[in-house]
């Protein structure tokens, strides 16, 4: 292993089930000790990607490297990984102590050594008392800890987690998330965490990989994903964005004018090349960056009527309708002066700089999967 | 889960009809057989006291005791063979065949022969095993032998072959069920914990299918113990098991002695089932 080797590297990995492409040309690098979240709707290929890394599925194309070495022909039991399953996959016929020590037993460690390390790890996870119990007598939270202890006891390089807190009670999740993050930091193990929950991905991940239709839509730090969604799908999937679709009317070096059925808007160009006039384009603006009393700096404007107000505790959300009937969300957190009432019509404005142009949709599938965001057709 | 509380009167009321039926159709005849086995004369009269003379007579005849031993031995042999073959078939069907359509087709191919009567299945073996039968014709054609082998029919080997074909389904069925009940994630989790396929089998799959194996073994044991038709059709009159003995004695009018053997047969079956149930708590079958 060279010093420069990444913990994990995927290059152009593709997996098909019959004619269905589950993972399409996915490339990804995980640095040592990194916490990476694969985020996407169900069926987007995130779990298959995880299973490919584990060796539970065989890739049809591309290569996977763990610590620099190709593992495409290495079976799961010889890969330096561990995996936590959504249902925990605890062995029903083994006591907690026995199954936590299972990995070491398979590595043919001496019995005394296994006993000592099982004791240690049970202490670490504060489940020392559970040793003689069988899985069917454990609570969800206890099962989760046992599964984690069982996975980590062999000190793997990478831990793969498939929706590991998805089956826990909602009240437990926050605490378990913090604990897992802490475990990951202290053990220095790379985590690849699959989830469909953006809160999980954003609060845990050093990097977030958004997937859709078997492909990676965007890779970046949580802030980057949230503030600059690269594609229409990302903007629509991540909550808190208003997505607009239209056609490019004019373009110059600094920005484009996009005509939509709700009006014309100026969208700045960042690192994307200027699209040709007449091309389809989509852009988004975050719900909390809309201003209901726009000033001179809020150059993009649209007339909207308040349809409903949602109170979500620390956040208040207004659902407004544009002239073409599409919905737009406005969000304010904390104590806000915004007092829009249902039925009221206002001019919403936002800064040109807060408008994010999406990369054009590529290949098959195109745009889709919009969730709770406006979709303005031509 | 039942919505009835264990001791609710409704539960007793619902259990009533079947209890009456079982009492009339199963318990009463069984007690009757036990009673007849204790008669000291061929016919019943109040003048003759009940006694165990028939049992004493049975155990004083080495030929009869040998039949008892042969029957138990045959049952154990069948349990071993169908256990191994049945597990192999079950594992193939439940684990190796991944396409549901193919699995169903193979399962039906395995099960459909059992829709015909046991008698027909038994008789079907005769042209297969006989001197001019399929096996002998094939062996002659392949020049493996130069004279037809007579030992296939009217032999223990022939009976065993036929019984294996009848009872493998009983051994395999419950194993298919328990294998299908093992979530794939358990095997995958074991693989990710450094277990090779062989060790996954020994440490995860086999222990979790033990209830299915035991149920299958009970079914095979009970059926082979009670099987008289196969020995009669394929073994001719050369070989006898306890079941054949019961028929022989019944036909010659020795009702008390036939009952003795029936009672001993039942006792062996109960003992066998008790031993097998010690191995595994079958009530947990189907539990996750």
Give residue limits of the domains in chain B. Answer: 60-284
Measured between CA atoms, how close is B148 to chain A, in angstroms? Answer: 52
Residue A83 touches chain B, beta carbons under 8 Å = yes
Residue B183 touches chain A, beta carbons under 8 Å = yes
Residue B47 touches chain A, beta carbons under 8 Å = no
Residue A187 touches chain B, beta carbons under 8 Å = no
In a domain, A232, yes or no: no
In angstroms, the CA B249 to CA B263 distance is 14
| Same domain, residue pair A278 and A143 | no
Q: Do A154 and B193 touch (CB under 8 A)?
A: yes
Chain A residue with minimum CA distance to B210: A93
Residue A81 touches chain B, beta carbons under 8 Å = yes
In angstroms, the CA A366 to CA B10 distance is 61
In a domain, A31, yes or no: yes
| Same domain, residue pair A32 and A164 | yes
Q: Do A93 and B208 touch (CB under 8 A)?
A: yes
Measured between CA atoms, how close is B198 to chain A, in angstroms? Answer: 11
Nearest C-alpha neighbor of B262 from the set B246, B244, B249: B246
Interaxial angle between packed helices B242-251 and B62-91, expressed in degrees from 0 to 180 and rounded to the nearest 10:
130
In a domain, A93, yes or no: yes
**Full pLDDT tens readout for chain A, 378 residues:** 444 678 999 999 999 998 999 999 999 999 999 999 999 999 899 999 999 999 999 999 999 999 999 999 999 999 999 999 989 999 999 999 999 999 999 999 999 999 999 999 999 888 989 989 999 999 988 999 999 999 999 999 999 999 988 877 888 888 888 888 988 998 889 999 999 999 999 999 999 999 999 999 999 999 999 999 999 999 999 988 999 999 998 888 778 999 998 888 999 988 777 888 888 999 999 999 998 888 888 889 988 999 998 888 888 899 999 988 889 999 988 777 777 888 888 899 999 999 999 988 664 333 333 333 343 333
| Same domain, residue pair A256 and A130 | no
Q: Do B192 and A75 touch (CB under 8 A)?
A: no
- Contact list, A137 vs chain B (CB under 8 Å): none
| Same domain, residue pair A321 and A281 | yes
Kind and range of the H or E element at A245?
strand A241-251
Structure tokens at B1: 């889960």
**Which residues of chain B have a pLDDT value below 50?**
1-2, 286-288
- Contact list, B191 vs chain A (CB under 8 Å): 55-56, 75-77
Structure tokens at A199: 């809160």
For position B282, what pLDDT does the model report?
63
Structure tokens at A67: 């610590």
| Same domain, residue pair A117 and A255 | no
Q: Do A89 and B288 touch (CB under 8 A)?
A: no
Nearest C-alpha neighbor of B165 from the set B95, B70, B211, B234: B234
| Same domain, residue pair A206 and A270 | no
- Domain end residue (candidates: A191, A223, A255): A223
Closest to A77 (Cβ–Cβ): which among B185, B194, B207? B194
DSSP structural state of residue A300: E
Measured between CA atoms, how close is B185 to chain A, in angstroms? Answer: 6
- Contact list, A82 vs chain B (CB under 8 Å): 192-193
Give A300's strand partners: A350
- Domain end residue (candidates: A195, A223, A251): A223
In angstroms, the CA A93 to CA B206 distance is 11
In a domain, A375, yes or no: no
* Kind of pairing between the strands at A81-84 and A158-162: parallel
Domain that holds residue A60: 8-223
In a domain, A38, yes or no: yes
Q: How many alpha carbons lie under 13 Å from residue A119 in its C-beta half-sphere? A: 6
In a domain, A323, yes or no: yes
pTM for the full predicted model? 0.81
Give the CATH number of the domain where residue A304 resides. Answer: 2.40.50.100
| Same domain, residue pair A59 and A184 | yes
Chain B residue with minimum CA distance to A92: B288
Chain A residue with minimum CA distance to B209: A93
Q: Do B189 and A85 touch (CB under 8 A)?
A: yes
Q: Do A82 and B190 touch (CB under 8 A)?
A: no
Structure tokens at B131: 């001197």
Q: Can you say whether residue A61 is alpha, beta or left, with left for phi > 0 and alpha for psi between -120 and 50 degrees?
A: beta
Structure tokens at B6: 């264990």
| Same domain, residue pair A213 and A275 | no
| Same domain, residue pair A215 and A139 | yes
| Same domain, residue pair A193 and A291 | no
3-state secondary structure of A332: strand
Closest to B185 (Cβ–Cβ): which among A78, A85, A102? A85
| Same domain, residue pair A170 and A263 | no
In angstroms, the CA A283 to CA A305 distance is 21
- Structural contact between residues A304 and A342, judged by C-beta atoms closer than 8 angstroms: no
Say how many domains are in chain A: 2
Give the CATH number of the domain where residue A202 resides. Answer: 3.40.50.300
Residue B62 touches chain A, beta carbons under 8 Å = no
Chain B residue with minimum CA distance to A53: B192
Residue of B189, B191, B198 to mutate, testing the A interface (most A Cβ within 10 Å of its Cβ): B189
Q: Indicate the class that CATH gives domain B60-284.
A: mainly alpha
- Contact list, A83 vs chain B (CB under 8 Å): 188-189, 192
Residue B215 touches chain A, beta carbons under 8 Å = no
Q: Can you say whether residue A37 is alpha, beta or left, with left for phi > 0 and alpha for psi between -120 and 50 degrees?
A: beta
| Same domain, residue pair A92 and A190 | yes
Chain A residue with minimum CA distance to B208: A93
Q: Do A54 and B288 touch (CB under 8 A)?
A: no
Burial profile B94-121: b = 16 or more Cβ within 10 angstroms, e = fewer: bbebeeeeebeeebeebeeeeeeeeeeb
Chain B residue with minimum CA distance to A152: B193
Q: Do A92 and B193 touch (CB under 8 A)?
A: no
Q: Do A106 and B191 touch (CB under 8 A)?
A: no
Residue B286 touches chain A, beta carbons under 8 Å = no
Q: Do B203 and A102 touch (CB under 8 A)?
A: yes
Measured between CA atoms, how close is B216 to chain A, in angstroms? Answer: 20
In a domain, A228, yes or no: no
Q: How many alpha carbons lie under 13 Å from residue B174 in its C-beta half-sphere? A: 21
Residue B191 touches chain A, beta carbons under 8 Å = yes
Structure tokens at A197: 């929950």
3-state secondary structure of A191: strand
């Amino acid at each position: 292993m060279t010093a420069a080797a990444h913990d994990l590297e995927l290059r152009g990995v593709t997996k098909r089930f019959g004619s269905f492409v589950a993972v399409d040309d996915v490339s990804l690098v995980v640095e040592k000790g990194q916490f990476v979240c694969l985020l996407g709707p169900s069926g987007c290929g995130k779990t298959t990607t995880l299973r490919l890394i584990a060796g539970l599925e065989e890739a049809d194309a591309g290569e996977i490297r763990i610590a620099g070495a190709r593992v495409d022909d290495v079976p799961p039991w010889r890969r330096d990984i561990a995996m936590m399953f959504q249902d925990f996959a605890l062995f029903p016929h083994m006591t907690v102590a026995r199954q936590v020590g299972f990995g070491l037993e398979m590595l043919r460690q001496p019995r005394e050594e296994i006993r000592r390390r099982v004791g240690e790890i049970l202490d670490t996870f504060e489940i020392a008392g559970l040793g003689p119990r069988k899985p069917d007598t454990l609570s969800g939270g206890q099962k989760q800890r046992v599964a984690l202890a069982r996975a980590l006891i062999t000190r793997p390089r990478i831990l793969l987690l498939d929706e590991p807190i998805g089956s826990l009670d909602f009240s437990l999740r926050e605490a378990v998330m913090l604990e897992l993050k802490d475990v990951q930091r202290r053990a220095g193990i790379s985590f690849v965490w699959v989830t469909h929950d953006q809160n999980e991905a954003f609060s845990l991940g050093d990097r977030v990989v958004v997937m859709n239709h078997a492909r990676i839509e965007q890779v970046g730090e949580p802030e980057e994903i949230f503030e600059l969604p690269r594609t229409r799908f990302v903007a629509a999937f991540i909550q808190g964005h208003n997505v607009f679709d239209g056609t490019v009317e004019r373009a110059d070096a600094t920005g484009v004018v996009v005509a939509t059925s709700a009006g014309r808007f100026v969208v700045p160009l960042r690192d994307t090349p200027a699209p040709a006039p007449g091309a389809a384009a989509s852009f988004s603006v975050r719900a909390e960056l809309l201003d209901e009393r726009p000033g001179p700096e809020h150059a993009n404007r649209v007339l909207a009527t308040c349809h409903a107000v949602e109170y979500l505790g620390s956040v208040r959300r207004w659902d407004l309708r544009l002239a073409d009937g599409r919905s737009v969300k406005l969000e304010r957190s904390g104590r806000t002066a915004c007092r829009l009432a249902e039925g009221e019509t206002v001019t919403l404005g936002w800064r040109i700089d807060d408008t994010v142009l999406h990369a054009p949709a590529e290949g098959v599938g195109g745009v889709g999967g919009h969730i709770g965001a406006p979709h303005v057709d031509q | 889960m039942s919505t009835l509380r264990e001791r609710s009167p409704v539960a007793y009321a619902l259990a009533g009809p079947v209890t009456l039926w079982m009492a009339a159709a199963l318990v009463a005849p069984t007690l009757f057989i036990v009673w007849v086995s204790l008669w000291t004369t061929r016919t019943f009269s109040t003048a003759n006291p009940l006694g165990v003379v028939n049992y004493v007579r049975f155990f004083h005849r080495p030929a009869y005791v040998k039949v008892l031993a042969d029957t138990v031995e045959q049952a154990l042999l069948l349990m071993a063979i169908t256990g191994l073959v049945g597990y192999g078939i079950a594992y193939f069907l439940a684990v190796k065949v991944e396409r549901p359509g193919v699995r169903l087709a193979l399962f039906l191919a395995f099960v459909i022969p059992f829709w015909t009567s046991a008698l027909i299945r038994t008789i079907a073996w005769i042209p297969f095993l006989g001197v001019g039968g399929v096996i002998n014709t094939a062996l002659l054609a392949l020049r493996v032998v130069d004279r037809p082998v007579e030992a296939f029919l009217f032999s223990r080997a022939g009976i065993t072959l036929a019984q294996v074909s009848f009872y493998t389904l009983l051994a395999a069925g419950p194993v298919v069920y328990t294998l299908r009940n093992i979530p794939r994630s358990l095997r995958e989790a074991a693989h990710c914990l450094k277990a090779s396929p062989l060790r996954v089998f020994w440490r995860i799959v086999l222990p979790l299918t033990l209830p299915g194996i035991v149920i299958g073994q009970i079914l095979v044991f009970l059926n082979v113990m009670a099987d008289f038709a196969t020995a009669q059709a394929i073994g001719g009159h050369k070989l006898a098991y306890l079941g054949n003995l019961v028929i022989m004695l019944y036909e010659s009018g020795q009702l008390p002695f036939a009952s003795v053997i029936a009672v001993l047969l039942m006792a062996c079956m109960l003992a066998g089932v008790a031993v097998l149930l010690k191995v595994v708590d079958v009530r947990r079958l189907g539990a996750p």
